[in-house]
Structure formats: C-alpha cells, structure tokens
Amino acid sequence: MNGPARPVARIAGVTQRYGHVIALDDVSIEIPAGCMVGFIGPDGVGKSTLLSLIAGSRQIQSGSVLVLDGDMANAAHRSRICSRIAYMPQGLGKNLYADLSVRENIEFFGRLFGQSRSERDDRVGDLLESTGLAPFSDRPAKKLSGGMRQKLGLCCCLIHDPDLLILDEPTTGVDPLSRRQFWVLIDRMRSRSQGMSVLVATAYMEEAERFEWLVAMNAGKVIGTGSPTELKAKAGAATLEEAFIALLPVEERGDHKALHVPPRHIGEGEPIIVARDLTCRFGDFTAVDRVSFTIERGEIFGFLGSNGSGKTTTMKMLTGLLAPTLGEALLFGKRLEPGDMSSRYRVGYMSQSFSLYTELTVRQNLELHARLYNLPADKAKARISELIAWFGLADYLDQQASDLPLGIRQRLSLAVAIVHEPEILILDEPTSGVDPLARDRFWEALIDLSRRQDVTIFVSTHFMNEAERCDRISLMDSGRVLATGTPAQLVKSRGAATLEDAFIGYLEEATGTGASATKPLAPTSQTVRRPRSAIEAHSGFSPRRLLAYTIREALELLRDPIRLGFSLFGTTLLMLVFGFGVSTDVNNLSFAVLDHDQSTESRAYLEELRGSSYFTEKPPLADYGVLENRMRSGNIRAAVEIPAGFGRDIKRGRPAWVGAWVDGAMPFRAETIRGYLQAMHALYLTDPAVITTVPTAPFPADIELRFKYNQDFDSIYAMVPANISLLLAIFPAILMALAIVREKELGSITNLYATPVTRFEFLIGKQLPYVGVALANFTLMFLLAIFVFQVPLKGSFTALLLGVLIYVIAMTAYGMLISAFTRTQIAALFGAAILTVLPATQFAGMMTPVSSLGGGAQILGRAFPMTYFVPISVGAFTKGLGFLALTPDLAALAVFVPVLTLMNVLLLRKQER
C-alpha cells in the first residue's frame, strides 16, 4: 500500500449474461495491487463471475478485463500469466480430489505448474509444515474436516508462489477456529511474498472488516468501493453490514430491522426430542460419537459446528434415515422405528441441499408435497395459499425451482417442509450460501413458527449470529458435542466476549491444536523467495503437466476398488460368457415329423434326418393342427411331412414329394435350417446305403467348398477375436466418457480453466490410465482366448499388439468425443451406451462384413474404429496373417487417432462460458 502502485486488474464495461440472467451489468473498476481486496454482497450478485473473469477461467462476453498488465481476452497473455495467478473456486474443496491424500493433492498442483521433483518436495514440505497439515499428509481429502480442506485448498493455490491469489468464499462452512487460523495463514503468506495481491469474496461481514479495500456489489453492479472505514463513513453506519444495506438502492433495503426473538414461555417441560448416546460409525470412521441432548416443545435448538463435524449424520439419525450404531433416539417420547409412518406426519425435514425437485414449478412442488402428506384437497388448497402469502411466493408460482434465486428457493424449501404443519422441524444448514438479508427473513419465519405455533425446531448452522438466536445450542466438533447451553451461558462459562470466542475456546480445548496456527515458519521460506519455475509454465507442451493428470487419474482409479475391479475383470467375465454364447453354429434344432405314410420308404428318408447332429427330434405330430400349434409356440423349429403314398410312388418310379415347414421368425436360423435340410436331402439321394431308391447318378461336376482359415467352419475361431474387439470398444469408451464428464459435474474441471495445463495435456493425461486399463483387459482376454477357448494365434503378434494399442487409443478418444457433447454423467452414460453398443454389435463387421451392410448401417460402421480392428484381430488370430498383410487396416485405424484427438481438443473449452 505504499505509493500509487499500478492496479492489478482493470475492468471496464464488462457485462455477462447466462440466458436471461444478467450476472454482471456494465461493471468498471480498478483493483489496486499488493493489497487484500474483499468482494462483499449477497449471493448471486456476480461476485463469483467477476472473480472467475479475473482468474481467466471464464470467457469474457463483452467489455475488457486487464489483469497483470495484459488483456485476459488474449489467449497468449492468459497462458503467459497463468502461472502467476492462483484461483480457488467457491465450494469447499471443489478443485480438490476427494480420493487423493493431502500430499498427493498438493503434488498434483505442483506438477501442473511444471515443478521438478526436488523443488516440489521442498515446497510441499514447507506448506504442510506452515499450515499444520503435516501430520495428516496421508489422509484422503474426503476425510478432512471443512477447515482442513480449506487449508489444503490454500496450499494447492500457494504451491507456485502466485502474484495474484483469488479466493471465492474460502471460509463459508468452516468453523470459527479454522476460519481464524485461515486468515492468520493468509497474512503470513502475504508477509512472506511481498507484493502478493489477494482478492477474496466473502459472505461474512465481520471478515470483511479486516480487508484493506472493499468492493460492494449488488445485482450485477458495483455499488461502492473503498476501505472499510471509508465505506462506513460514507454511509454513516457503525458496522459494515449496516453500511452495506445503506448502499443498497432504496427499494431493496426493505423494512430491514434487527431481529427480535421473543422469550419462550417455558412450562410444558415435556421433552419432544431425546438423543441418548447416539453413535454412528461408517466402517472404522466414527461420524457421531455418543451424542446426547433433549429438546423441549417449542424450543429452537441449534447445532453449531463446521462441515463434517457430524451435524448432518445426527440429524439423519433423528429422522430415521440412518440407524444409529449405538444409542437411541426418541421422538414424542417414543423410540424411532424405521417403518413407523405416524411419526413422519408430525416431522418436517429440510436437508442441506434444498431438497426440491428443480424441474417442477413452485406450485407443483407445493402441491406434490401436500398430496404426499395426504392433505385433503380443500385443506391442501387453503394451506398452500396460506404458505404462498406468508413466504411471498406469489410472484414465482409458475417458475421452475431451478430458476429461482437462492433466497426464494430456500423459502420454498421451508414452505414445502411445513406444508403438513409438523410439530417438529429438522433443518440441516438451511441458510448455507444465502445472503444476510434473506437469512433474516428466513429466521423471522422460524421464530414465528416456534413462538406462535409451538413448533419444535432443531436447526444446524455455522453462522454465529444465527446461533445466538437459538434458545439453546450444542457445539459440535469431530462427532462430539463439546458443550450445550443457552448462548449466554456458553459465553459466560468460557469467560469470552462473544459466542465465537467461546466456541473457539471450546475447540482449542478439545483439539489441543490451538497453537498450530502460530507455529513459526521454516526459516528458509521466510526470507528466500524461490524463482518460479517459469520455463515450462510458458512452453506449449509439458510432459510433466500431462503426467500430473495421468498420475492423478490412475490414483483415483486405484482408490476405487469397485470401479477398478469392474473395469479390469468386467471384460474378462463377459469374454468368458460371450466366448461360449455368441456363436453362429446352429445346433440342437428341434423338429418333428408328420408321417402319413408310415412305410419302409418314409422311415428310410427320415432316418437321414434323425442321424444328423444338427437336429433333435421331438414327439411326432398327429395332424396339421398340432403341427401348426407347435410351430406357433416355438416348440419345434421345423416340421417334415411325408404324404400318404410316398412309398408307393417310389416303388412305382413316380416322383415322390416331401414337405418341410421351417419357422421363419428368425431369418438367420430359418436360412440355416433350410440349408441343412437341403444338404441332408442331397445326401439321401446319393446315399448308397439307402436301398429303397435307386441312387441318382452323380452330378456332372464336383463342387467342392473349401472353408479357408477355419477348416471345420467352427465359429469360435471367428467369434473369439471378434469378442475381444467388441469388449475393447465398449468399456474404454464408456469409462472415458464418464471420466471427463465427472470432472465437469463435480467441478474439478476448474483446474483446467485456471492452471497452465493445456487442453491437449489434459485430455491425453486423462486418457493414458484408461489406455493402460484397456491394455490390461486385452492381456487377460488374450490369455483366455489362447488357454480357455484354445484359439491359437497364427499370425503376427506384433501387428496385433500394435493394432490393440492404436485401437484402444482411438476408442478412448471416441468416448471423449461423446463426453464433449454431454454435461451430466447420466447423459454421458446413456449417450455412450447408445453410440457404442449398437455400432459395435451390429455394424462393425462382427457378424457380417461391413461392405455388405445397407445404407445407414454401413456409414455408421465405417465411422467406427472397431470396423478396422476386427480384421486385424481376426486376421492375426485365425487367418494367420503377418504384419505386412495387416498394414492397410492398421493405417486406417491410425487415422482415427489424430482426427478424434483434434476434434476433442477443439471441442473442449479452456474457459468456462
């Protein structure tokens, strides 16, 4: 803050729209460099959008964004400065990988910034030490508490010593102790890296007090900038919160006033909710550890604690969703039984994620819940209009829940939860992510329910000012209740000034980690600021960044034994089944005879049929009616009729006739049966053993069929290599499609947007582990083919191996292509299934050569890599071909790789829209 430094970011005339919603409306500001800048304002006012624009992870729609002396619309500038920026997106640990350990997460980011092993080890050790995460370095991120996760996120951001650190609501959902430690950490990092600019969005006004410069935002506009003191002075307000409200346009200020909680009239004394030693374990992890409390009628009971402290699990046990491992829960004095419907009519529940059906409108959501609680139609109507009026939902009735602002959505959630007038209301972090004004309105409703309607409310929160409004609260940490009492009692017993201080006191006492945050930094890091490993960060292609994704994806796969097991052995299992089952050798065909003649001659004719190994005979037919019935029911596939007078005709030298009926329901089978019958008939005519007829003269030419490559015409030799092709088409494509879309859906795709990794490195890096899995699949299937099915490899192994390698690369790239068009995992799964199973089983030459297929099928077949691999697989196994003969197919297959890869790179965005 010494001297007029050049601004770190200059934003001019920026407008961003998502559909109809305007997220940023002609915003122009200059953000000073080298200081701590806070962005404050309610949810959905455009803070996150603005930060992601500055971070370069979102595409600019209109206006200009200059960051670190360059235009962020310019891709070259972005990639140049990318390694000087660190961006932590909103949402706890959204850019982290839950299955990876603390150390692995940080190392991943180190690789993304092109750090060598020694540099990385040095930095990781340093960061773990200074954040107090060192003892937990091997713990998976998903098992970290909210506060630790946040610290880990910060480590990942700081691994490359950024000049500009962008944190989007880094402390939302974190307990006060962790929050305090977090800010201490940030201060120390700043003192260590002189001149680092930090941009922070926050919903906590008390946090904003500590920032040097503030940007207040509302409805996509900047409504004020300046230091906290300046802002307060300008508005003439004592606190920032009041100052912010004063800055709002008049019509939005509403009738905001401090919330008053009327005292509860105590007296009934009957406990409504009782928890006794509730314990819940998942495997070796104890989520809730001997929690006990009682809640009385009409009481507002608060559960205070960070994410992952066991609040949600406790609430789930009280609603009957989870059975406690130990202990018991009583509602209305009765033990909770899983199948007990009557108590459910008396309880309302609102889960953390606003359990609304987002595709339904406001009205539909209300009506659905009224119906499911079996409210009579007239009563339901009255109740719904009452709720609509009370919660001010009238303007939104026909809007979809997904389109509602967060505050309205949360009110609708509450309305839905109390539609059946429950006596108990269980609310799991109902205000998380909602701005202060909306939170106050929500609490008004809760207080009204409690005080006027005697509803017992059990609510969890991590906001201190909300906790202060509760009649009593329990402080939770790591599954245990630290203390229970009225807010005033707790403050007093700790001798603290505020509830927050009291909570921190309890936390420090419980965990004994109070000192960790103030541990001195390692001496090396305090003084020396290492040169950034900038060589690789700038260059176009970095094998190290590519490898970062490969290592990470492989680790994730290894950590999910079910997914790994299925993807390794699923193909093996199916190969076994298909090897036996998918065959074109038609045997065991059932037939029956209708012999009107019953003569020596007719029996001689039928003997030829009965001797065939293709047919099995069923009981003979009595008449046409039976014949028709049994054909119709599928009991027999063919019927042979010998008319009366058959023997007589033969004896007299007159041409005799035999009739055969074949079930035409399955054309392939019908054709095959017809062929068998005709062959058998021809055999009969020339069979010297048949003494009833004079054998006919041999045919004037000897037509000889030679089945090449497969003398016995046994389909296993064609089907086993084809099955390998089929399974290597479907599994890699689906796994790959899901792997990419998963990042989109779970949010870790941000790391592609905000780090120097290129699209090419990202895609190939993610592809390699699946290519590896597919090669392992191939090895297993190859062994099955040789040893179980005894299909020998007659041709070139090298060509087959090379073909497999190219093929699985092409198929994983095909899966990626599908993922480019889908945004949810469901759509990816469905799309990948439809777009691989049909071409693979029908149009890729598995049963029928592609050149013989009709129109559309042939086009689909030609555009599918498997079409070119089937000849390689069959050629190498059964045809015994060498490398040279397989070269054309190898070349055709190889064309897919660059084409698909290029399409994938072009279709993937480096920035969010």
Partner 1 sequence: MRKLANIYWLGVKELRSFLHDYVLLGLVVYSFSLAVVIQARSNSQELHNGSIAIVDEDRSELSRRIAHAFMPPLFQPPQMIAERDIVPMMDKGRYTFVVDIPANFEQDVLGGRRPGLQIDVDATAMVQAGLGSGYAQSIITTEITDFLSNSEGVPLSPVNLDVLISFNPNITTAWFTSVMGIINSVTMLAIILSGAAIVREREHGTMDHLLVMPLTPFEIAMSKIWANGLVIAVAVGLSLYLVVRLILGVPIAGSIPLFMAGVVIYLFFATAIGIFLGTVARSMPQLGLLFMLVFLPMNMLSGSNTPLESMPPWLATAMQVSPSTHFVSFAQSILYRGAGLDVVWPEFLAVAGIGGLFFGLAILRFRSVTAQGS
- State which of positions 577-606 bind partner 1 (CB under 8 A): 577-578, 580-589, 605
Among 735, 774, 785, 811, binds partner 1 (CB under 8 A): 735
Q: What is the C-alpha separation between 769 and 773, in angstroms, rounded?
A: 6
Among 258, 535, 622, 705, binds partner 1 (CB under 8 A): 705
- Mark out the alpha helices in 270-349 (DSSP H runs): 311-319
Q: What is the C-alpha separation between 499 and 464, in angstroms, rounded?
A: 7
Judged by CB under 8 A, the stretch of 105-113, 265-273, 478-486, 874-882 that binds partner 1 is 874-882
Q: Which is nearer to partner 1, 250 or 689 (CB)?
A: 689
549-562: b or e for each residue (b if 16 or more CB lie within 10 Å)? bbbbbbbbbebeee
Residues 741-760, mask of contacts with partner 1 (x by CB under 8 A):
-x------------------
Q: Which is nearer to partner 1, 5 or 321 (CB)?
A: 321
Find the binding residues for partner 1 in span 379-398 (CB under 8 A).
none
Instruction: Identify any residues that bridge with 202 across adjacent strands, giving them in sequence order.
Output: 40
Measured over the CA atoms of residue 353, residue 355, residue 357 and residue 360, the dihedral's sign is: negative
Find the binding residues for partner 1 in span 615-634 (CB under 8 A).
629, 631-634
Q: Which is nearer to partner 1, 793 or 837 (CB)?
A: 837
Least separation in angstroms between residue 698's CB and partner 1 is 7
Phi-psi region of 245 (alpha: psi -120 to 50; beta: other; left: phi over 0): alpha
Contact between 874 and partner 1 by CB under 8 A: the answer reads yes
Place of tokens 């021809």: 682
Measured over the CA atoms of residue 713, residue 714, residue 715 and residue 718, the dihedral's sign is: negative
Contact between 822 and partner 1 by CB under 8 A: the answer reads yes
Among 637, 732, 785, 812, binds partner 1 (CB under 8 A): 637
Judged by CB under 8 A, the stretch of 32-40, 81-89, 237-245, 354-362 that binds partner 1 is 354-362
Among 39, 244, 789, 843, binds partner 1 (CB under 8 A): 843
Contact between 702 and partner 1 by CB under 8 A: the answer reads yes
Contact between 879 and partner 1 by CB under 8 A: the answer reads yes
Centroid of chain to Cα 602 = 69
Among 848, 862, 903, 909, binds partner 1 (CB under 8 A): 848
Task: List Cα–Cα distances, 289 to 311, 437, 508, 868, in angstroms.
Answer: 11, 35, 19, 60
Contact between 316 and partner 1 by CB under 8 A: the answer reads yes
Q: Which is nearer to partner 1, 157 or 733 (CB)?
A: 733
Judged by CB under 8 A, the stretch of 63-71, 114-122, 241-249, 716-724 that binds partner 1 is 716-724
Judged by CB under 8 A, the stretch of 447-455, 489-497, 784-792, 843-851 that binds partner 1 is 843-851
Q: What is the C-alpha separation between 785 and 721, in angstroms, rounded?
A: 8
Contact between 681 and partner 1 by CB under 8 A: the answer reads yes
Least separation in angstroms between residue 860's CB and partner 1 is 7
Tokens matching residue 56? 């370069």
Q: What is the C-alpha separation between 853 and 843, in angstroms, rounded?
A: 7
Measured over the CA atoms of residue 227, residue 229, residue 231 and residue 233, the dihedral's sign is: negative
Judged by CB under 8 A, the stretch of 90-98, 101-109, 449-457, 839-847 that binds partner 1 is 839-847
**Which of 574, 570, 575, 563 has its CA nearest to residue 782?**
575
Place of tokens 């314990």: 279
**Which of 71, 73, 63, 89 has its CA nearest to residue 9?**
71
Measured over the CA atoms of residue 782, residue 787, residue 791 and residue 794, the dihedral's sign is: positive
Measured over the CA atoms of residue 320, residue 322, residue 323 and residue 326, the dihedral's sign is: negative
Give, for 537, the enclosing helix (H) or strand (E). Answer: helix 534-538
Judged by CB under 8 A, the stretch of 124-132, 201-209, 514-522, 575-583 that binds partner 1 is 575-583
Least separation in angstroms between residue 739's CB and partner 1 is 7
Instruction: Identify any residues that bridge with 710 across adjacent strands, giving them in sequence order.
Output: none
Among 66, 809, 881, 900, binds partner 1 (CB under 8 A): 881
Find the binding residues for partner 1 in span 750-809 (CB under 8 A).
none
Residue 196 CA neighbour count, 13 Å, CB half: 24
Judged by CB under 8 A, the stretch of 110-118, 479-487, 749-757, 838-846 that binds partner 1 is 838-846
Please work out, in degrees rounded to the nearest 5, the angle formed at the alpha carbon of residue 225 by the alpha carbons of 224 and 228: 105
Q: Using an 8 Å Cβ cutoff, are 186 and 211 in contact?
A: no
Judged by CB under 8 A, the stretch of 167-175, 538-546, 567-575, 756-764 that binds partner 1 is 567-575
**Which of 281, 285, 272 has its CA nearest to residue 318?**
272
Neighbours of 388 (CB within 10 A): 19
Among 662, 768, 771, 818, binds partner 1 (CB under 8 A): 662
Least separation in angstroms between residue 308's CB and partner 1 is 9
Q: Which is nearer to partner 1, 506 or 646 (CB)?
A: 646
Find the binding residues for partner 1 in span 413-472 (CB under 8 A).
none
Contact between 860 and partner 1 by CB under 8 A: the answer reads yes
Among 131, 145, 181, 878, binds partner 1 (CB under 8 A): 878
Place of tokens 């050790």: 125
Least separation in angstroms between residue 835's CB and partner 1 is 9
Q: Which is nearer to partner 1, 252 or 337 (CB)?
A: 337
Find the binding residues for partner 1 in span 544-563 (CB under 8 A).
560, 562-563
Judged by CB under 8 A, the stretch of 4-12, 295-303, 523-531, 820-828 that binds partner 1 is 820-828
Among 326, 394, 644, 826, binds partner 1 (CB under 8 A): 826
Q: What is the C-alpha separation between 781 and 482, in angstroms, rounded?
A: 57
Contact between 320 and partner 1 by CB under 8 A: the answer reads yes
Find the binding residues for partner 1 in span 181-220 (CB under 8 A).
none
**Which of 142, 150, 156, 218 has its CA nearest to residue 182?**
150
Among 105, 307, 351, 456, binds partner 1 (CB under 8 A): 351
Among 4, 512, 696, 787, binds partner 1 (CB under 8 A): 696
Q: Using an 8 Å Cβ cutoff, are 38 and 211 in contact?
A: yes
Contact between 707 and partner 1 by CB under 8 A: the answer reads yes
Q: Which is nearer to partner 1, 240 or 387 (CB)?
A: 387
Tokens matching residue 122? 């040095």
Among 5, 21, 266, 321, binds partner 1 (CB under 8 A): 321
Rg for the chain (alpha carbons), in Å? Answer: 37
Q: Using an 8 Å Cβ cutoff, are 816 and 767 in contact?
A: yes
Residue 668 CA neighbour count, 13 Å, CB half: 7
Among 566, 618, 747, 780, binds partner 1 (CB under 8 A): 566
Contact between 279 and partner 1 by CB under 8 A: the answer reads no
Judged by CB under 8 A, the stretch of 248-256, 431-439, 448-456, 830-838 that binds partner 1 is 830-838
Q: Which is nearer to partner 1, 261 or 857 (CB)?
A: 857
Residues 6+ apart with CB under 8 A from 527: none
Instruction: Identify any residues that bridge with 213 across adjacent strands, giving them in sequence order.
Output: 37
Task: List Cα–Cα distances, 191 to 35, 36, 170, in angstroms.
Answer: 11, 12, 19
What is residue 471's DSSP assignment?
Answer: S
Among 650, 740, 773, 785, binds partner 1 (CB under 8 A): 650
Among 61, 279, 286, 715, binds partner 1 (CB under 8 A): 715
Among 145, 306, 672, 901, binds partner 1 (CB under 8 A): 672
The angle that helices 797-820 and 883-907 make with each other, rounded to 10 degrees, is 20
Judged by CB under 8 A, the stretch of 365-373, 378-386, 499-507, 776-784 that binds partner 1 is 365-373
What is residue 327's DSSP assignment?
Answer: E
